[in-house]
Amino acid sequence: MIQEIKNLKEKNNVLLVAHYYQQDCIVEIADLVGDSLELARKASSSNEDIVLFCGVGFMGQSVKILAPKKRVFMPKIACCSMARMIDDTYFDKSIEILKSYGIDEVFPITYINSNAEVKAKVAELGGVVCTSSNAKKIMDYALKQNKKIFFLPDRCLGQNLAQSQGLKSVVLGIDSKEDVILSDVICYDGFCSVHQLFKVEDIEFFKEKYKDILIAVHPECPPEVVQKADFVGSTSQIISFVNGLDDSQKVAVGTEFNLVNRLRPSKNGIQNTFVLSSTKPECPTMNETTLQDVLNSLNAIDSGEAYNEIILNSDVALKAKIALDKMLELS
Ligand code: 13P
Ligand code: SF4
């Protein structure tokens, strides 16, 4: 099957792209593997006219928005559960609630884990997209706009960023109107179900078991976990951090299982890299894509079928591009 995939890919000049959370068999055959920022940037500026994206829906959409002339297909239109927690209607409702609190102007930042319609809404209000790798830079830019920041959809990333800058954050719909009015960063109440699995108790367990162990986590983890970690970073930042450690340094990592499992395999039977959870933190939608799906997509592309092709409303895509381009310019 792998040879068939390679032949079809070459014949049709297809760039096969995979996020780090994909299954090993997909990562092994991909032309480009990375985190959401690297993939958006590199896949959209590649030479190939056709991109086959193994990841979740917003990632494929981002490539299509940034490079509208490319044809972008996905073996599975798998949707990130966090991205599904907000749409353009919920965005409008949130802005209405803020107006009813007397907050007429906000600077919106949307995490890239959101759909094109939400990115377009953010662009309409002059806001910008961020990923977990560039969120601090984007926040620094947003703070210069002298408005309250509306951060969506990931409340954890918003709260963690605010905490690291000494800013007051609240969650819309959870905290009181008075607290929202007094805050610097208003977070939408979305979250990643996978990164919610990591708990302070997991950190305590590993710290008790291995005296000098380090804890590295993704900023989608809850704030109380992030505050107790030794390192916080996006998927590629976690990879660089762990790869830079001495072979004997133990580390427990709080992010998706496939990525952690691939980091520093056991040597001479000694395991130094651990998954920071007793529950297997697998992203169900990332894990949906199989080699058979990749082959099916390539066969469809070869026979000229539009199978799971990303098609966007052109007005929405044009607006969303403004917020994504601004992010690339700032990062
Ligand atoms: P990265 O930006 O680190 O690739 O994260 C994307 C994501 O969905 C993490 O859950
Ligand atoms: Fe979405 Fe969480 Fe999966 Fe990342 S790990 S794609 S945020 S559901």
Q: How far does the centroid of ligand 1 lie from the alpha carbon of residue 192, in Å?
A: 10
Whether residue 58 is contained in a domain is answered as yes
Whether residue 49 is contained in a domain is answered as yes
Handedness of CA 41, 42, 43, 48 (dihedral sign): positive
Model confidence at 267: pLDDT above 80? no
In contact, 215 and 203? CB cutoff 8 Å = yes
Are 167 and 75 within one domain?
A: no
**Whole-number pLDDT of residue 77:** 84
**Whole-number pLDDT of residue 270:** 83
- Which numbered ligand comes closest to the C-alpha of 35? 1
Residue 189 pLDDT grade (very low, low, confident, very high; cuts 50, 70, 90): very high
The four Cα atoms 233, 234, 240, 244 give a dihedral, to 10 degrees, of 20
Q: What is the mean pLDDT of residues 212-226?
A: 97
Whether residue 319 is contained in a domain is answered as no
What is the CATH number for 33? 3.40.50.10800
In contact, 297 and 304? CB cutoff 8 Å = no
Does ligand 1 come within 6 angstroms of the Cβ of 255? no
Whether residue 68 is contained in a domain is answered as yes
Residue 244 pLDDT grade (very low, low, confident, very high; cuts 50, 70, 90): very high
Residue 269 pLDDT grade (very low, low, confident, very high; cuts 50, 70, 90): confident
For residue 51, give the amino acid letter: V
pLDDT tens for 85-94 read 999 999 999 9
Are 67 and 10 within one domain?
A: yes
Whether residue 30 is contained in a domain is answered as yes
In contact, 291 and 2? CB cutoff 8 Å = yes
Are 156 and 180 within one domain?
A: yes
Are 58 and 11 within one domain?
A: yes
pLDDT tens for 28-69 read 999 999 998 899 999 999 999 999 999 999 999 999 999 999
- Which numbered ligand comes closest to the C-alpha of 281? 2
Model confidence at 81: pLDDT above 90? yes
- What is the rounded average pLDDT for all residues in the chain? 95
Look at strands 128-130 and 251-254 and give their pairing: unpaired
What are 109's strand-pairing partners? 128, 151
Residue 35 CA: nearest ligand 1 atom is 4
Are 172 and 210 within one domain?
A: no
Residue 217 pLDDT grade (very low, low, confident, very high; cuts 50, 70, 90): very high
Report how many domains make up the chain.
Answer: 3
Q: How far does the centroid of ligand 2 lie from the alpha carbon of residue 80, in Å?
A: 5
pTM (predicted TM-score): 0.93
Handedness of CA 301, 303, 304, 310 (dihedral sign): negative
Are 140 and 113 within one domain?
A: yes
Q: Which of 42, 36, 260, 259 is nearest to 134 (CA)?
A: 36
The neighbour count for residue 190, using CB atoms within 10 Å, is 24
Are 182 and 217 within one domain?
A: no
Q: Which of 108, 236, 217, 232 is nearest to 172 (CA)?
A: 108
- Which numbered ligand comes closest to the C-alpha of 56? 2
Are 152 and 245 within one domain?
A: no
Among 23, 35, 61, 113, name the best residue to mutate to test ligand 2's pocket (greatest count of ligand atoms within 8 A of Cβ).
113
CA gyration radius, the chain:
20
Are 220 and 269 within one domain?
A: yes
Among 234, 256, 327, name the best residue to mutate to test ligand 1's pocket (greatest count of ligand atoms within 8 A of Cβ).
234
Whether residue 322 is contained in a domain is answered as no
Does ligand 1 come within 6 angstroms of the Cβ of 202? no
Whether residue 318 is contained in a domain is answered as no
Domain boundary among 147, 173, 192: 192
Q: What is the mean pLDDT of residues 259-267?
A: 86
Domain boundary among 275, 300, 321: 275
Q: What is the mean pLDDT of residues 97-107?
A: 97
Phi-psi region of 327 (alpha: psi -120 to 50; beta: other; left: phi over 0): alpha
Q: What is the mean pLDDT of residues 258-281?
A: 88
Model confidence at 265: pLDDT above 80? no
Are 212 and 268 within one domain?
A: yes
Look at strands 106-111 and 251-254 and give their pairing: unpaired
For residue 106, give the amino acid letter: V
Model confidence at 268: pLDDT above 80? no
Task: Please tell me the distance from the alpha carbon of residue 51 to that of residue 46, in angstroms, as a whole number.
Answer: 9
Does ligand 2 come within 6 angstroms of the Cβ of 113? yes
Are 203 and 134 within one domain?
A: no
Residue 236 CA: nearest ligand 1 atom is 3
Under DSSP, is residue 252 helix (H, G, I), strand (E, B) or coil? strand
Q: What is the mean pLDDT of residues 315-329?
A: 97
Domain boundary among 254, 275, 296: 275
Q: What is the mean pLDDT of residues 138-161?
A: 96
Burial (CB < 10 A; 0-12, 13-18, 19+), residue 129, is: buried
**Whole-number pLDDT of residue 331:** 86
Whether residue 323 is contained in a domain is answered as no
Kindly report the protein residue whose alpha carbon is nearest to atom 8 of ligand 1: 113
Are 144 and 245 within one domain?
A: no
Residue 159 pLDDT grade (very low, low, confident, very high; cuts 50, 70, 90): very high
Q: How far does the centroid of ligand 1 lie from the alpha carbon of residue 313, in Å?
A: 25
Q: How far does the centroid of ligand 1 lie from the alpha carbon of residue 297, in Å?
A: 24
Cis peptide before 153 (omega within 30 of 0): yes
First to last CA, the chain: 39
Q: Which domain holds residue 129?
A: 83-192
Does ligand 1 come within 6 angstroms of the Cβ of 131? yes
Q: Which of 138, 140, 137, 175 is nearest to 155 (CA)?
A: 175
